[in-house]
Structure 1
Amino acid sequence: MHSTHLEIFTEIKGIGAASGLFLHRNLLYIIGDNSGNLNEYNIKTKELKKIQILFDKNLNQLDNIAKVQKPDFEALCYHENKLYILGSGSTIKRNLMIEFDLFGKKVVERDLKEVYSKLQEISKIDDKNFNIEGAIFTGDEWLLFNRGNGFDSKNGIFIIRGQDLVNGEQIRFLPIKLPNIDHVESSFTDAVLLGNEIFFISTAEDTKSTYTDGEILGSFIGSLNKKTMELNFTHRISSHQKFEGISVLNQDKGKIEFLLCEDRDTDELKTIIYKLSLSN
């Protein structure tokens, strides 16, 4: 049996529609789904730095990009001093991956159009149900989490062997059944690997579209066994919030603390970061 405690960790002005985060030492990296900037927030000094990662001459601004143009960066993961920022693939404008070197500060763009097409073909998920919201890179394989908020409710994990995501060949799709609220199945919004456990967050949103938002019914935290992919537990953490990013803050015996970011589906450049404590 698990118990949870949710509290505000910090409020940050200048960031809107937060969709992914990763804590590296004292620096919290945050992406927004409507932004061409990577946000670097120092949790000690409270200083915010914006790093441009999108260089599209057709954009007249890098924050609050219009919905039809936005890159929809929904997944942020880390491996060996690099951040990987992935578009959701839910429209043709959302197939970009950014590699960002934390030390060299180098930005590299990758086109995921072909591999996303392969994922859809293998899983038999069409354009209206494909929506990558979380990613894990272990160095040997990629795990991409499809958010099943389309009409077909296709929650699941794409497992791609090897380091090269762009040219991924060994691909399989594992459907995952998640808990529901009022007959609305929750869907993946992010995940993080800790030891042999995949901790994920999911939200029940009353919509049948990967593009149009709906009423938020609640959110869960849960975990999967990395080797067997069996569900260990789920626990409801909110009745009205949609959390879209998760990162590990601390781990002690019998207790793990996570940081979560919330997408409030507004244009306001302000985000609240929450601390979620999970105890056995």
Structure 2
Amino acid sequence: MIHAQYDPALLVHLVRQVPLRYAAGADHALDRPAHVRAGSGLAWVGERLAVVQDDANFIALVDPATGLALSVVLPAGAEGKRQFDVGRGNKKQKSDLEALVSIEEPNGSMLLAIGSGSSKRREHVVTLERAGQTDETLALIEAPALYKALRDATDFSGSDMNIEGALIIGDVLRLFGRGNGKVSKHRVPLDATCDLHWPSVLAYLAAPHKQLPPKPTQFRQYELGEADGVRLTFTDATLAWGDRSARPLVLYTAAAECSPDSRRDGAVAGSAIGVLDSSADGAVVRYALLLDAQERPLPLKVEGIACGSADSRQIFVVLDVDDPDAPSVLCELRLDGPWPRPNGHA
């Protein structure tokens, strides 16, 4: 078990925030609202930030300066619906896409969006080849064998699996599981990571009915600390400013949410930005809380993270307000204090 340490010297300052809305407005024929709902993951595609949503079948390609987005339309669910919530009575039908990774390829960016796996309906993976280009190609893939392998790896899945983050390190796809579930069958919810052989994941996604998925390996479990007495749990992760070293710096987000299980929302006590530094032997995890002017945790649910391009102190996060009628919010943050830097970054 790796224990995160709260470090009051690590500071996080809010530079600006902007609500996320579609540049073209609502489209009722597509069941698309005017705003980006429930942002759950961030990744760069060229000069835009891709935002995946856990309760709407769209990927938003956001201009970070204005918050205006283009939409990538995902396949509709039952009755042609692309929005899912309690009010509509169809929340259980959502794909619950939570993790998002951008992979640079010779012909453009590939986006990989991963469902949480918190129920059998949420075992989908989306691939978007040449994201943002006119010839982009999208696939929604049912991946039950992959999710079974992950769920059977109880050192990762714990009692109530909930995949929330992912990143690529060399030929490894690393998944981050959120431990906001409930105790079940003598197992406890875990904040944990595991590794999958990335080329084998690609081979499986190309032929999920014929190809066996890779087995998860390299399990690591974490205690991430707390905010206002509520346990912090992973909500996303990213490589620090494109660090491609063998042991890169990883930035992560975590939320302190009083969830009854991995499928229901709860009151949010606060959120944290943390750094996982494994450049030396072992792993050192430190985190900072998002605080108000009175140095109390802000009751905000940070769901996605991406590093900025200005310098190694700029990051972007997306807030999920857990309200289908309100837009998600993109925040530009500045990291001050003794945050570690990747090699070659000031």
Using structure 1 for the length normalisation, give the TM-score: 0.90
Aligned to 2:144, which of 97, 100, 113? 113
The answer as to 2:320 corresponding to 1:263 is yes
Residue among 75, 83, 88 paired with 1:63: 83
| Distance change in 2, residues 1:46/1:127 (3 Å) | closer
Name 1:11's counterpart in structure 2: 19
For the Cα contact (< 8 Å) 2:159–2:189, is it kept in 1?
Answer: no
How does 1:1-280 map onto structure 2 within 5 Å? Answer: 1-13=9-21, 14-43=35-64, 47-56=68-77, 58-64=78-84, 66-80=90-104, 81-101=109-129, 102=131, 103=133, 104-124=135-155, 129-151=160-182, 152-165=188-201, 166=204, 167-194=213-240, 195=243, 196-226=248-278, 230-238=283-291, 239=297, 240-252=299-311, 255-279=312-336, 280=338
Query: Identity across aligned pairs (percent)?
Result: 23
In 1, the alpha carbon distance for the partners of 2:238 and 2:156 equals 23
| Residue 112 (structure 1) shift | 2.8
Q: Give the conservation status (yes or no) of the 8 Å contact 1:91–1:127.
A: no
- Whichever of the two has the greater Rg, that structure is 2
Q: Aligned AA for 2:230?
A: V
Q: Secondary structure at the match of 2:113?
A: strand
Question: 1:150 Cα deviation (Å)?
Answer: 1.1
C-alpha distance after superposition, 1:253-276 (max 9, x if no partner)? xx4211111111111151211011
Higher strand share: 1
Contact persistence 2:48–2:64 (CA under 8 A): yes
Q: Which amino acid aligns with 2:116?
A: S
Output the CA distance in 2 between the equivalents of 1:264 and 1:229. 36
Letter in 1 for 2:274: G
Q: Residues 272, 4 of structure 1: CA spacing in aligned structure 2 closer, same or farther, 3 A cutoff?
A: same
The residue matched to 1:244 in structure 2 has which SS?
strand
1:213 and 1:174, CA in 2 relative to 1: closer, same or farther beyond 3 A? same
What is the aligned length?
A: 277
Instruction: Indicate conservation of the 8 Å contact 1:159/1:172, yes or no.
Output: yes
Q: Tell me, what secondary structure is at the counterpart of 2:140? A: strand
1:147-183 residue CA offsets vs partner (Å, 9 max, x unmatched): 0001223001011234222411252321111112344
- Report the AA paired with residue 249 of structure 2: E
Check the 8 A contact 1:128/1:209 in 2, yes or no. no
Q: Are the equivalent residues in 2 in contact too, given 1:23–1:249 (CA < 8 A)?
A: no
One-letter code aligned to 1:51: V
Query: Deviation string for 1:4-35 (max 9, x for gaps)?
Result: 10243322231111111223332121111111
Measure the CA separation in 1 of the matches of 2:278 and 2:306.
17
Q: Once superposed, which parts of structure 1, at least 4 consecutive aligned residues long, lie more than 6 Å away?
A: none
Greater CA drift, 105-114 or 189-198: 105-114
Q: Is the 8 A contact 1:123 1:173 kept in 2?
A: no
Letter in 1 for 2:18: T
Gaps of at least 5 residues in structure 1 are none
Which of 173-182 and 209-218 deviates more? 173-182
Counterpart of 2:267 in structure 1: which amino acid? Answer: E
The structure richer in helix per residue is 2
